[in-house]
Amino acid sequence: GIRSVARGIGSYLPANVVTNADLAARIDTSDEWIVQRTGIRQRHVAAPGEFTSHLGLKAAERALAAAGLAAADIDLIVLATSTPDQTFPATSATIQAELGITRGAAFDVQAVCSGFVFALATADAYLKTGAFQRALVIGAETFSRILDWEDRGTCVLFGDGAGAVVLEAVETDAAKGRGVLTTHLRTDGRHRTKLYVDGGPSSTGTVGHLRMEGREVFKHAVGMITDVIVDAFAATGESAESIDWFVPHQANRRIIDASAQKLGIAPEKVVTTVALHGNTSAASIPLALDLAVRDGRVKPGDLVLLEAMGGGFTWGSALVRW
């Protein structure tokens, strides 16, 4: 058999930081309200002319450098994004060209905030078949472009950024227990009107803005997240005690804390970046994981639990021996 083993990780945040105080100067909100309800203190916002492909490219280059690999070593790019540069071609094709890669395949995956887990599961499945050898799995978003900056209920929540992981197909024996151990993906489209964008090429011919019933999302989030994590534990025999790190999608501090508590995951195992990054959708997990790898928390051989939930609703988990 084959395991998909992580060789390197990288991330990128646009330089421009927007604090809660900056938002309070523009709309009727306050640092206190945002911090109490979400834990968010600041977010990064892409500059005009800085696109999702630019953020994703920088994260990919950093992941390749960390892996000690060249772009030419990559034969698969799976990019998770809900904010593509254009309707088509896929933004992954732009990143592929910017990296100078001319072989293999590149495509985008669209599962909103769950996108990185869906992209990781997709790349893992392809690598295991032997179809590809080395994949770049990228989450990159510019949600600032689809926010209604007049809607205080949503615009304070999101930020821009990108993260990327290099996965390599390794014979199971040689992997020595490392790699993607299991992934679990779910979608329930009956919830599609609770978190959505009110535009698109086929319906309105416009890009549209993000709309959300925040309380409805909150109500479903913890149960959905914990369900797919229970699935991951059942499939592997691992548990809240045996994992080393919990790296959840970073939407909201209260959702993260409630999920960890319900699962019995110790607070010191939880990696949280929501205060600094806001909700960067598909980019949030690789951004948080990259931070924890670079600051020495996540070490080779550690058991890392990833989880996300988002528009659709989509939700999923991945258990990775780093």
Residue numbers at the binding site for ligand ACO (CB under 6 A) = 29, 33-34, 37-38, 113, 152-153, 156-157, 195, 212, 214-215, 217-218, 221, 249, 251-252, 279, 309-310
Q: Looking up tokens 């999101």, which residue turns up? A: 158
Is 249 known to be catalytic? yes
Q: How many residues does the chain have?
A: 322
Please report, for residues 2, 3, 237, 253, 298, the alpha-carbon distance to residue 130 in angstroms, rounded to integers and kept in the order given.
8, 10, 26, 39, 28
List the catalytic residue out of 44, 209, 249, 277. 249
Distance, in Å, from the CA atom of 102 to the CA atom of 79, rounded to the nearest integer, reads 16
List the catalytic residue out of 20, 113, 184, 209. 113
Provide the minimum distance between the beta carbon of 149 and ligand ACO in the complex, in angstroms, as a whole number.
12
Provide the minimum distance between the beta carbon of 20 and ligand ACO in the complex, in angstroms, as a whole number.
9
Provide the minimum distance between the beta carbon of 13 and ligand ACO in the complex, in angstroms, as a whole number.
18
Instruction: Please give the full DSSP string across 121-161, using - where no structure is assigned.
Output: HHHHHHHHHTS-SEEEEEEEEEGGGT--TT-HHHHTTB-EE
Which residue's C-beta sits nearest to ligand ACO? 214
Provide the minimum distance between the beta carbon of 40 and ligand ACO in the complex, in angstroms, as a whole number.
9
Which CB atom, from 134 or from 249, has the smaller least distance to ligand ACO?
249
Is 113 known to be catalytic? yes
Which CB atom, from 122 or from 281, has the smaller least distance to ligand ACO?
281
Provide the minimum distance between the beta carbon of 114 and ligand ACO in the complex, in angstroms, as a whole number.
8
Q: Please give the sequence-ordered ranges of beta strands (E in DSSP) within the chain, or none if there are none.
A: 2-12, 17-19, 42-44, 76-80, 105-109, 134-142, 160-171, 179-187, 195-197, 210-212, 245-248, 303-310, 314-321
Identify the CA nearest to 37 among candidates 135, 145, 154.
Answer: 154
Which CB atom, from 29 or from 236, has the smaller least distance to ligand ACO?
29
> Residue 78: which residues within 8 A CB-CB, separation 6 or more?
92, 106, 107, 108, 109, 119, 122, 123, 135, 136, 137, 138
Which CB atom, from 61 or from 307, has the smaller least distance to ligand ACO?
307
Ramachandran angles phi, psi of 147, nearest 5°: -85, 145
Which CB atom, from 76 or from 255, has the smaller least distance to ligand ACO?
255
Catalytic site positions: 113, 249, 279
